[in-house]
Structure 1
Amino acid sequence: MTAIFVFSGQGAQAVGMGKDLYDSSPAAAAIFNSADQILGWKVSDLCFNGPENKLTESIFCQPAIYTMSCAALAAYREKHPEVKPLACAGLSLGEYGALYAAGTFSFEDGLRLVARRAELMDKACKENNGGMASVLGGDVEVIREVCAACGIDIANYNSPGQIVISGASEKVDAAVTMLKEKGLRKVIPLKVAGAYHSKMMAGAGIALRTVLEEAALNMPTIPVYHNFSAKPSENMQELLRNLESQVAGSVRWVECVTAMAALGADTMIEFGPGNVLTGLLKRTIPEMNGININSVDGLNQ
């Protein structure tokens, strides 16, 4: 098996996530126990017991998913130390799990960064009335033209045939209407707190840059394909710029996955709750094998 490691993003959370890993893997339990000492609230209790409405809030959801994903990675490495990835990547928030896996920062320092990122993004959401919509199928150039005409952004290139648009709520509504008028029928408004990965998040990215510059970061020891550039950083300034720009920039996930596959990978291993990324893989590179490490059962694949 020649693997790439990928990490789940916000929206994949579910009450109960990581509980069986905690109970069966000392390495996973150590990650959860460490998280519980850092943020002033018990990450493990929220992951295992909810409530769901709290787990869905960005300020809690992002640290919880990061912790669960790193715990899944720890359990996998404990059982399969021989598996070394060719590269890593993560969807939006998941990029921090990828950077942890590649040795960019300690779990604890990464958790502090993720918590601060969540606070800044939550603040930006509350300052603006933003929205998002998923566009299934349709010509990419048509979608870009409509976004430009309406003054909004493409947030995610998730897979061939799945794009997410983002911006001020009334402008997203106008874009949804315009896309349908152009014959794109599957345009679905999303229930989100704000306009993630749009220019409305730019202030949060700038504020995050200051936090990142004060953090203890190392260059990754494994190539990490960034959402913003769809390639690894060559130096620390580029890495910082990618993480700053990622907050308001498009997630170029299709390009990330395609580039990592071109390295010779035959298997994608997804760490974290749910199975979103392996699902997207089926529509992007259907011949590549996908494995989910979101429970003890996944460790036996």
Structure 2
Amino acid sequence: MGGISNKMVITESIKKTALIFPGQGAQEIGMGKELYETSPAARWVFDKANTILGMDIKSLCFNGPEEELMTTANSQPAIFVTSIATLNVLLEKLKRAPIGIENHEIFSEKDVPLAGTIALGMSLGEITALTAVCAITFEEGLTFVRNRGLFMEEASRLKEGKMASILGLSIDKVEEICKGVGCEVANLNCPDQVVISGEAKLVELAGDLAKAAGAKKIIMLKVSGAFHSKLMISAKEKLKKVLDKIKIENPAVDFISNISAEVTTNAGTIRENLANQLDHRTLWEASIRKAISLGYKDFLEIGPGSVLKGLLRKIDSSLNVVTLHTTGDIDNFIQNGKQS
């Protein structure tokens, strides 16, 4: 990476560090297992998740099988739990004292600023981010994510949908193609990458037209449906009823919504954005640029995978992004300010 050093000084990073959380697609067999085996803070999160969900999400994360882990209904809570477990371990180590109290061994709003002073997440990761900043409790966040995945999977069965990433074509041209064939722009993740969504045959047609218009590459995404499109309206309506029952508090630190790409602290707006996210486009690049405009150059990617690190490099190569998903990653970051 260019620009600033890859090394973060912990005392400084606390002041201006952004916490970022991955979305669906980051799942992999074995995620969180090493954390569970080495940290009580991670064990509490996974064991509590099993109780809340009434299923062995822990075993699914650690052992698969892959076909079950990859489903929308399972991958979303699995990524959420792994990310929160990782954060719980990080905050306990930064705190240098046990997290929480017996039978409720999870971080509080007073602990969060030890790691970062702003948070955001990609799609699913937005709920993780809201839980991370204590706007939503872990219990309600996990229940919400499980329902979100189930409703999205149900909507995907109603009509076959697809998503595709179009590389190297302007947003205006992609918008024109989508309008012409009847699909939608779903995600604006980084420069020269636009993700489209819609009925399978229409997305395939749009991909062919984009290629003919000069796109460098078309990648059909390995997802089960047309997320962030009108095909998710039925899921959105069901999710609204779940959201109505969730208590949303003021975030412990700033939170950027990837629907508006703005700092969002109003509970009503957060609730509305979480519902709209299902059938509206997400603005990841704009959200990161908002954080940059607020003075953030250091980012911690907390949870499985390193997709966000790759996207941030494309948005601004001077950004310092550290991925944390093992005890070794966390220990090395605390000792040296960088990933091993």
Normalising by the smaller structure, the TM-score range is: over 0.9
Alignment of 1:261-276 (within 5 A): 261-276=292-307
2:235 to 204, 211, 220: 204
CA contact (8 A) 2:229 2:281 kept: yes
The number of aligned residues is 301
Where does residue 70 of structure 1 map in the other structure? 84
Q: Does 1:213 align with 2:227?
A: no
Give ranges in structure 2 of 5+ residues lacking alignment.
1-12, 96-112, 334-340
Where does residue 191 of structure 1 map in the other structure? 222
CA distance in 2, matches of 1:249, 1:293: 29
Which region of structure 1 is more displaced relative to structure 2, 196-205 or 227-236?
227-236
CA distance in 1, matches of 2:70, 2:84: 19
- Once the two structures are TM-superposed, the CA of residue 71 in structure 1 deviates from its matched residue by 0.3
CA contact (8 A) 1:86 1:265 kept: no
Q: Residues 162-209 of structure 1: CA distance to partner in whole angstroms, max 9, x if unpaired?
A: 111100111111101111111113012222211011111122112211
- Once the two structures are TM-superposed, the CA of residue 234 in structure 1 deviates from its matched residue by 4.4
Q: Does 1:145 align with 2:176?
A: yes
Q: Does 1:106 align with 2:137?
A: yes
CA distance in 1, matches of 2:189, 2:277: 15
RMSD: 1.2
**SS of equivalent residue, structure 2 residue 323:** strand
CA contact (8 A) 1:88 1:225 kept: yes
Which region of structure 1 is more displaced relative to structure 2, 200-209 or 251-260?
200-209
Identity %: 38
Q: Residues 35-60 of structure 1: CA distance to partner in whole angstroms, max 9, x if unpaired?
A: 01111111111111111110001111
Where does residue 155 of structure 1 map in the other structure? 186
CA distance in 1, matches of 2:298, 2:114: 11
Where does residue 230 of structure 1 map in the other structure? 261
Q: Does 1:121 align with 2:152?
A: yes
| Larger Cα-atom Rg | 2
- Once the two structures are TM-superposed, the CA of residue 73 in structure 1 deviates from its matched residue by 0.5
Which region of structure 1 is more displaced relative to structure 2, 8-17 or 262-271?
262-271
- Once the two structures are TM-superposed, the CA of residue 221 in structure 1 deviates from its matched residue by 2.3
**SS of equivalent residue, structure 2 residue 262:** coil
Where does residue 4 of structure 1 map in the other structure? 18
Q: Does 1:239 align with 2:270?
A: yes
Q: Does 1:22 align with 2:36?
A: yes
Q: Does 1:50 align with 2:64?
A: yes
CA contact (8 A) 2:251 2:265 kept: no
- Once the two structures are TM-superposed, the CA of residue 119 in structure 1 deviates from its matched residue by 0.9
CA contact (8 A) 1:269 1:291 kept: yes
Return closer, same or farther for 1:133/1:77 CA change in 2, 3 Å cut-off.
Answer: same
Give ranges in structure 1 of 5+ residues lacking alignment.
none
**SS of equivalent residue, structure 2 residue 286:** helix
1:286 to 314, 317, 323: 317
Alignment of 1:164-179 (within 5 A): 164-179=195-210
TM-score (norm 1): 0.97
TM-score (norm 2): 0.86
